[in-house]
């Protein structure tokens, strides 16, 4: 364990910063933990930091001990309304990379206005759990490549874990898909936990966009969740993703519940 001592102001105890584990730091004063820092690696390979402390000076001391020991770029996420936390990260050199809106959406089709979504000619929607693994993986791989070639996949709100052998595990139990001519052209991934669900991903193949495929995918998924007793779903949307913003802003029961900022230190 590596420790660093920080001299406090008059009448204040000395703060000792110790790296207590590979991904954890503690700030201790008078034998009490007065701050904690953590780092975690996301499935896409990016390292995210968090610091929890009551005082700005302890935050700065933890950041000063952590940052020199970590490879850049480094990322963190803050609630946009938490101005103090955002300012603390900016003092260390972090800048805003992107904003994500959090949407809350009723699953009741009478509230959403999705009870009369027109069918998309030539497109069939397979419900969650009905997709086949091979064409699902093929569609995911193709759509991801299209997004990587434009805005970049790391702009998406969620990531799928890649195994060390490079294979991406996809679970049909989490996906609804849109099919055309026996090909999967749109994917929606949903995670359900007791009384709440989250839409983690909605993507459509580039040559099938602007035809209503995303709405056609979303409507039956929300209806199925409502029938299972889940009344509300959440979704995070990058504010530069104009298509996704328009999709959720256009749902009758949808509201923006807040926004997160992703900050980066390069």
Give me 63's structure tokens. Answer: 């950041």
Q: How confident is the model at residue 5 (pLDDT cuts 50, 70, 90)?
A: low
pLDDT tens-digit readout, 106-121: 999 889 988 888 889 9
Q: What is the pTM of this model?
A: 0.83
**CATH class of the domain defined by 101-258:** alpha beta
Task: Compute the C-alpha angle 249/251/256, nearest 5°.
Answer: 45
Residues 6+ apart with CB under 8 A from 117: 212, 215, 216, 219
**CATH class of the domain defined by 3-100:** alpha beta
Which of 48, 57, 54 lies closest to 35, judged by CA? Answer: 54
pLDDT tens-digit readout, 19-51: 999 999 999 999 999 999 999 998 778 899 999
How much is the mean pLDDT over the chain?
A: 91
DSSP-derived letter for residue 166 is S
Same fold, 3-100 and 101-258: yes
Share above pLDDT 90 across residues of the chain, in percent, rounded to a whole number: 76
pLDDT average, residue stretch 80-89: 96
Domain extents for the chain? 3-100, 101-258
Burial status of residue 72 (CB atoms within 10 A of its CB: 0-12, 13-18, 19 or more): exposed
């Amino acid at each position: 364990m590596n420790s660093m001592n920080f001299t406090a102001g008059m009448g204040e105890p000395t703060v000792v910063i110790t790296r207590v584990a590979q991904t954890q730091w503690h700030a201790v004063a008078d034998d009490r933990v007065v701050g904690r820092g953590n780092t975690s690696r996301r499935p896409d390979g990016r390292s995210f930091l968090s610091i929890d402390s009551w005082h700005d000076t302890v935050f700065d001391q933890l950041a000063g001990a952590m940052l020199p020991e970590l490879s850049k770029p480094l990322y963190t996420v803050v609630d946009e309304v938490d101005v103090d936390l955002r300012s603390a990260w900016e003092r260390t050199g972090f800048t805003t990379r992107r904003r994500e809106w959090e949407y809350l959406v009723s699953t009741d089709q009478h509230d959403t206005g999705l009870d009369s979504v027109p069918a998309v000619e030539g497109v069939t929607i397979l419900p969650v759990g009905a997709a086949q693994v091979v064409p699902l993986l093929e569609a995911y791989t193709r759509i991801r490549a299209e997004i990587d070639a434009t805005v970049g996949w790391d702009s998406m709100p969620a990531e799928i874990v890649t195994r060390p052998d490079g294979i991406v595990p996809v679970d049909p139990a989490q996906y609804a898909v849109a099919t055309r001519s026996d090909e999967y052209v749109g994917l929606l991934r949903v995670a359900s936990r007791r009384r709440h669900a989250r839409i983690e991903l909605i993507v459509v193949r580039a040559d099938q966009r602007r035809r209503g495929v995303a709405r056609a995918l979303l409507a039956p998924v929300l209806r199925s969740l409502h029938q299972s007793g889940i009344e509300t779903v959440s979704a995070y949307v990058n504010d530069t993703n104009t298509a996704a913003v328009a999709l959720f802003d256009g749902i009758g029961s949808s509201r923006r519940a807040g926004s997160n900022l992703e900050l980066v230190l390069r």
